[in-house]
Structure 1
Amino acid sequence: MFVVRSLIKMSSPNPLAMLEQRTAEADMLIEYLKEHVELLKENATIQANLRKEKKLLAENAKLQQDIDELKKQLLEKERKRGVLNVSMPSVEGGFECSSSSAPPKPAAPAPSATSAAAAVQSSPQSGDNKMKPEKKEKKPQPTAGQEGVKVDVSRLDLRVGRIVMAEKHPDADSLYVEQVDVGEPSPRTVVSGLVKHVPLEQMQNRMAVLLCNLKPAKMRGVTSQAMVMCASSPDKVEILDPPDGAIPGDKITFQGFPGEPDKELNPKKKVWEQIQPDLRTDGECVATYKGSVFEVAGKGVCRAQTLSNSGIK
């Protein structure tokens, strides 16, 4: 019996060696699994980055389309307002300005050698033989009259217009919002405080006189691009009527006051405020400026319906 056990013991493998071999195999398997996991992580990261990049590219393309659409809408709105050149954002984040900068002033010519020598000869010599600087003659500043600046009715861009449509202002009970044809490609939006004086039905599709070069201004959230000219008294307001046969865009002229109107009246110069007190209707309800009538050449004069000897504004 002892002999049989010894033979079994001698024929069986060494348990320690087998354990070490399995441990080594397990370590190799763990390393392999670690490397495989790392590869899987890298692949997952790459795929996630690719998906994110595709998503960002799609979002960027959509944003670019939105920006282009907003630019088109802005350009269309500015064109309707009569603005020809619009500043748009450039790629670098600045602005492309359509207005040109003022040309640089030419540098003053350097004094010639002859004039310098003449100055030296005419200057009195001091004890230390130093030349005194030549005094410059002060030039008188030009006055407004010398510059040709004038403030009269020729500075106003007054035109015949047709109120195509009028409605009440959504946020102001006393204001109308009108679309007015003044001879331009698109109607102008005009806000007028006439609700208490002119019924809404009388505002539709009617002729009027418009002041078109006031600076656009917001009135309760709506930008007004012109002003309807009216004769007014403390109790009544009447829209001025152009002569029969006048069409939108016809200019209002004044005998004795030639000249081209300002492109836009500068509010700081108070041009309108200086001219307005001399705008009145005469005894026959004809609109005048210092006695000169509001006239559409070859078609007649502008007038109020009943208000005579009244102010115009």
Structure 2
Amino acid sequence: IQKRIQPNLLLNCTLVLSMAISSVTLRGATFMLSRSTTLCPLHSAANFSSGKQTGMSVAATPSINIHYLGTVSRRVPLSFPSTNRRFFCMSSEAEAPVADNVTSSVSNTDSTPASPSTPSNDPLKDAAGTLDIRVGRIIKAWRHPEADTLYVEEVDLGEPEPRTICSGLVKYIPLDTLQDLNVVVLANLKPRNMRGVKSNGMLLAASDASHENVELLSPPEGSIIGERIWFGLEEDKENQVSAASPNQIQKKKIWELVQPHLKTDSSCVAALGSHLMRTSAGLVVSKTLQNATIA
């Protein structure tokens, strides 16, 4: 098949399909072509072994390039599970024996190619937006029976049951001050076993450079138990993205990326860079610690 893709550019392609298609239309065929593209066997993403159309496997030669060419759609009913199929072009820059199969992942399984995503103006803020930081209230707190430096707290996060959280605050905060205290909780970390107690979350606190003074972050009076906290302006609340799963937080190391940039400012307000930490009732603060690290 000879298909003119762009002016003065002619592509000779051989269609390799698992069954004959009596009438097809090649659409969106002005995508990427390599400089020395020759014969290009086309392979359908539907042939990927997972059956989820998330990738494809092709027999390739050394120095290959795999390019998305377009979508083939049928005009008559066939036994394919959907009416459109993505096709890819494999090109080699030099003739060589057939090599091992090469697998290419396709992130978007919709029949229409996804539009390029718009680059974010602040990727760090976007990453912080996937953290599930919430207002909580400590219902009960006690010393960990197996660890001298740990408290165990039951924390109400507006869920059907309170969460159990372990915190290394024994050296810094008296136990009797924790009862019925409103706190800020990072709620989408993977649970950790801490000396026999499963801790499902983390209380966020500010500490000075010497780490001798530590204060729990305080949500403003009037904050709703369980509400998500965000960074930025008041109106940014409406633009909050969904929180990532604990597995995603761990796999992508989102907390490790964001945490070094969390600090209190000169007014003791918690912030991510210039983006202030907020609830629906106002700003999250440390009582007295300025320019302190938050963790």
Same fold (TM over 0.5): yes
1:207 aligns with 2:182: yes
CA distance in 2, matches of 1:271, 1:291: 19
State the 1:147 CA deviation.
6.3
Change (3 A) 1:111 1:243: farther
CA distance in 1, matches of 2:156, 2:162: 5
Partner SS state of residue 308, structure 1: coil
Question: What is the CA deviation profile of residues 136-193 of structure 1, one whole-angstrom value per residue up to 9, with x for unaligned ones?
Answer: 56137889x9568965211110110001110000000000000000111111000000
Question: What is the CA deviation profile of residues 252-286 of structure 1, one whole-angstrom value per residue up to 9, with x for unaligned ones?
Answer: 12225731111324322211100111111111000
What is residue 21 of structure 2 aligned with on the other side? 112
1:153 aligns with 2:120: no
CA distance in 2, matches of 1:251, 1:278: 19
1:295 aligns with 2:270: no
What is residue 20 of structure 1 aligned with on the other side? none
What is residue 85 of structure 2 aligned with on the other side? none
The within-5 A match list for 1:224-263 is: 224-233=199-208, 234=210, 235-255=212-232, 258-263=240-245
CA distance in 2, matches of 1:110, 1:276: 54
Identity of aligned residues (%): 39
Change (3 A) 1:289 1:250: same
Partner SS state of residue 201, structure 1: helix
Provide TM-score, normalisation by structure 2. 0.58
Partner SS state of residue 273, structure 1: helix
1:189 aligns with 2:172: no
Partner SS state of residue 160, structure 1: strand
Change (3 A) 1:308 1:265: farther
Name structure 2 gaps, 5 residues minimum: 1-16, 25-37, 43-64, 69-104, 108-114
Name structure 1 gaps, 5 residues minimum: 1-107, 116-131
Q: How many residues align?
A: 189
Q: Which amino acid aligns with 2:226?
A: G
Q: Which moved more, 1:162-171 or 1:243-252?
A: 243-252
Partner SS state of residue 208, structure 1: strand
CA distance in 1, matches of 2:263, 2:19: 56
Q: Does structure 1 retain, via aligned residues, the 8 Å contact 2:128–2:254?
A: no
What is residue 294 of structure 2 aligned with on the other side? 312
Question: What is the CA deviation profile of residues 51-78 of structure 1, one whole-angstrom value per residue up to 9, with x for unaligned ones?
Answer: xxxxxxxxxxxxxxxxxxxxxxxxxxxx
- Find 2:192's aligned residue among 217, 221, 224: 217
CA distance in 1, matches of 2:247, 2:275: 22
What is residue 252 of structure 2 aligned with on the other side? 269
Larger Rg: 1
CA distance in 1, matches of 2:225, 2:199: 18
State the 1:214 CA deviation.
0.4
CA distance in 2, matches of 1:240, 1:111: 66
CA distance in 2, matches of 1:265, 1:278: 22
State the 1:305 CA deviation.
0.7
Q: Which structure shows the higher helix fraction?
A: 1
CA distance in 1, matches of 2:147, 2:225: 28
- Find 1:164's aligned residue among 133, 139, 142: 139
CA distance in 2, matches of 1:272, 1:147: 23
CA-based RMSD:
2.9
Q: Which amino acid aligns with 1:195?
A: V
CA distance in 2, matches of 1:160, 1:283: 23
The within-5 A match list for 1:51-66 is: none
CA distance in 2, matches of 1:142, 1:113: 27
Change (3 A) 1:139 1:133: closer
Partner SS state of residue 226, structure 2: coil
Q: Which structure shows the higher strand fraction?
A: 2
The list of structure 1 runs, each at least 4 consecutive aligned residues, that deviate by more than 3 angstroms after superposition, is 108-115, 132-137, 140-143, 145-151
Provide TM-score, normalisation by structure 1. 0.55
Q: Which moved more, 1:172-181 or 1:231-240?
A: 231-240
Q: Which amino acid aligns with 2:267?
A: E
